[in-house]
Structure 1
Amino acid sequence: MIPIKRGKEIEAMRRSCRLVTEIIEKIQAILAPGITTAEVDQYAAHLIQSYGAKSAFLGYRGFPGNICISINEEVVHGIGGKRKIRYGDLVKLDVGIIFEGWIGDTAKTFPVGTVDVEDLRLMEVTSTALMIGIAQAREGNRVGDISSAIEKYVLEQGFQVVKDFVGHGVGRRLHEEPPVPNFGKAGCGPKLKAGMILAIEPMVNRGTGRVVMLPDGWTAVTEDGQRSAHFEHTVLITKKGPEILTLSEKDIELDCYTR
C-alpha cells in the first residue's frame, strides 16, 4: 500500500521539509578545503539537535553517520571520517531528519572552489533531470513516467544514471512505498494519486553507471573512479501538480532549478 497523506499530515511534512532545507544550506556553508567529513557530520548532528529534530539516518539499518557525505567518485551513503575536503571537490550532502514524527529528506551536490567544466555540466544535468522527473509527478501519471523522463534526459546528455539506488515514498518512515527508479519505461508502475509524497533523487555519473561498495559496507563509488552527482527533492503530488516541499530560496534563484 502506498500511503496517502492528508490535512495535518501534509502540513507536518511541509514543516519537516522546510527545516531540512534550511539545515542542508547551513551545512553547505561550512564546506571548505581542509575540513574533514567527520567534522562536517558532527556539525550536522549539533545543528539538527539544535532545531529539536533527530537524524533520520543515524542507526538506520546500522548506518553510523548523522548525514551522508560523499565526495567525487563516492556516489552515495558516504560516512563522515578522516577524509579531508579539497579544493575542486564535488561534495554530495544527503540529509534526512525526523521532526515532529515526520521525515524531511533532501540531497544536493556542491562544488568546493572551482571545478572543471564537465563537473559543472554533470551537476547541471543531474539537477535538471530531477526537475524533469518532478514535472511528471502528477496525479494520473505513473511512477515509470518519472523514471523514464529522468533516464531519457541523462542519456541524451551523455551521462549515465545509477541503477543500484532509487528514490522512494517518504513520510512517517524514511523509505515507504513506492520505489522511484531513475530509469524505466513510461506508463509503467503504480499510478500516482494526490497525497502521495515521493523522494525523487537521480544519481548521475560521468562515466559508467556501475558502482562498487567500499569495505565499510555503505559507501558506493563509481566503478571507473569518475565523478558522480546527486540531487534530491521531497515532492507532494496534488490535484494541481507537484509541490516541491524541499525547495529553497536559492533553488528558485538558480537557473538549473527553474528551466
Structure 2
Amino acid sequence: MENEAGTAGESVLSCANCGKPASLQCPKCLELKLPREDASFCTQDCFKASWASHKKVHLRANLAAAAPSEQVQDGWLYCLKKGQARTSELPYYDWSGTLRPHRISTMRSVPFTIERPDWANDGIPKVEPSSDLQNIVEIKTPEQIERMRETCRIAREVLDAAARVIRPGITTDEIDKVVHDATIAAGGYPSPLNYHFFPKSCCTSVNEVICHGIPDARKLEDGDIVNVDVTVYYKGVHGDLNETYFVGQVDDVSQKLVRCTYECLEKAISIVKPGVRFREVGEVINRHASMSGFSVVKSYCGHGIGELFHCAPNIPHYGRNKAVGMMKAGQTFTIEPMINAGVWRDRLWPDGWTAVTADGKRSAQFEHTLLVTETGVEVLTARLPSSPNVFPWLDS
C-alpha cells in the first residue's frame, strides 16, 4: 500500500471498505491509473479484508485494455477461470465433441430491492463453506418448509417460462434472459448468478455438456438437446430444478437417453421416505440406466438445499457409492441424475465450469427439490397444470 496524504484544499478520501478517512492507496490501482475514490483504504487490515472483491476492479481494467474497444463496448467475450476472466480469442483445447463455447454477454443486473445471497456482490459465498450444515443434515422447521414450497413453485414457473421459448435459432443467452427476467419479476434472485463467479443466471447444457454450461451466443440447432438448470433464491431459501428439452426433431438415441434420464429420476423419487439410506438412490438410478445401455456420471451429485444453496447430504447417482446417512422427515435435498450415452467420465472446458462427456457423446439430466415427509416424499418442484407439455411420454 502506498501512503498518499491529502494536501491542503483536497477533499479527504473515504476507505472503500469501512468509509473512514483514508490515506492509503492500492498500488495496483495507481499503476493502472484508476480512480482514487475506489482505491483508498484507512489501514492495511481494511485493504486485506476487501481484497477478494477489490481485485475485480483490476480484472475489469485489464480486460478493457487487452480487448478491442468494440468488443468491450459490446460486452461479448469468451469466459475463462470460472468466470473471473474474459478473452477475445477462442481458447485452445482438445475438444471431446463437436460443440464449442461462444462469447458470453456481460453479467445481468438485479434490482437493489431484491433480497440477495451473500455472494451476489463479490462472487464469494461466506456462510455456506464453513456452515455446520455441510456435515449435519438439517431437519427443516414448518416455517422453513413453507418458504421452500413457495420458492420451489417460483423456480418451477421460471423453468417453464424457459421451456416455452426453446426452439431452433434461439441462443442460450436468450434463454438466460428469460430465466433472469422471470426470476426478478417474481421477486427472486437467480441463485447461480455470481456464485463462485458463475457469470449467468442459469445453466444451459447442450448435447455433450453434462452440467454447468454457460449461456452464450450459440444458436440452438434442430436436433440438439438442451438442459436448463434453474435455481431461485426467495425469502431466504433456494429452490432448484432442471429438465432436458428436445430442440426440433431429435434422433432416436437422444430421445431414448432423455426419457431414460427422466425415468431414472422418477424411480429414485419413488423410494424416498424416512428410513431409506441415501446410498440407495444411486443403486436405483444405476440399475435403470445400465439396463438401458447408458452410464451414470460420478463427478456430480445431488445435495441438501434450503437457506444454503449446497449442503449435506451429498447424494451420488451411481451404484456402490459410499454415501452416509438415512432419510428423515423434514429433510430437503435434490436428486439430479446425469446420464451419458457413452462413457461416464467427464472433462472440464477452459472456462472452468462446463463439464462435458470424455467421448463427446450426449448427456441428459433431470432434477427436483424434494421434501421427506412422515409417510414419503413431496416433490417441491413438481410440474404444474400450467407446465408446458414438452415430453411426449407424459401423454402415454
2:148 aligned with 1:13: yes
- Give the TM-score taking structure 2 as reference length: 0.63
Query: C-alpha separation between the residues in 2 aligned to 1:248 and 1:123?
Result: 17
Partner of 2:180: 45
- The match for 1:189 among 311, 319, 324 is 324
Contact 2:163–2:388 (CA under 8 A) maintained in structure 1: no
* Aligned partner of residue 249 in structure 1, secondary structure: coil
Q: Identity of aligned pairs, percent?
A: 37
Structure having the higher Rg: 2
- Counterpart secondary structure, 2:279: helix
- Give a deviation string over 1:156-175, Cα, whole Å, max 9, x none: 11100111110101101110
Q: How does 1:166-181 map to 2 (within 5 A)?
A: 166-181=301-316
Query: Match of 1:165?
Result: 300
For 1:143, the equivalent position in structure 2 comes to: 278
Q: Is 1:116 matched with 2:256?
A: no
- Considering fraction of residues, name the structure with more strand: 1
Q: How far 1:188 moved relative to its partner?
A: 5.8
Total equivalences in the alignment: 259
Q: 1-side partners of 2:213 and 2:289: how far apart? A: 23
Higher relative contact order (CA 8 A, sep 6+): 1
Name the counterpart of 2:356: 221
Change (3 A) 1:123 1:103: same
Distance 2:377 2:184 in 1: 30
Q: How big is the alpha-carbon RMSD for the aligned residues of Structure 1 and Structure 2?
A: 2.0
Aligned counterparts, 1:45-64, within 5 A = 45-64=180-199
Contact 1:142 1:186 in 2 (8 A): no
Aligned 8 A contact 1:141 1:187 in 2: no
CA contact (8 A) 1:252 1:258 kept: no
- Structure 2: gaps spanning 5 or more residues: 1-135
Name the residue aligned to 1:133.
268
Measured in 1, the distance between the counterparts of 2:328 and 2:393 equals 27
1:26 pairs with 2:172: no
Aligned-partner SS, 1:109:
strand
Name the counterpart of 2:69: none
**TM-score, normalised via structure 1 length:** 0.95
Residues 257, 140 of structure 1: CA spacing in aligned structure 2 closer, same or farther, 3 A cutoff?
farther
CA–CA separation in structure 2 for the residues paired with 1:143 and 1:215: 33
One-letter amino acid matched to 1:248: R
Distance between the aligned counterparts of 2:253 and 2:343, measured in 1? 15
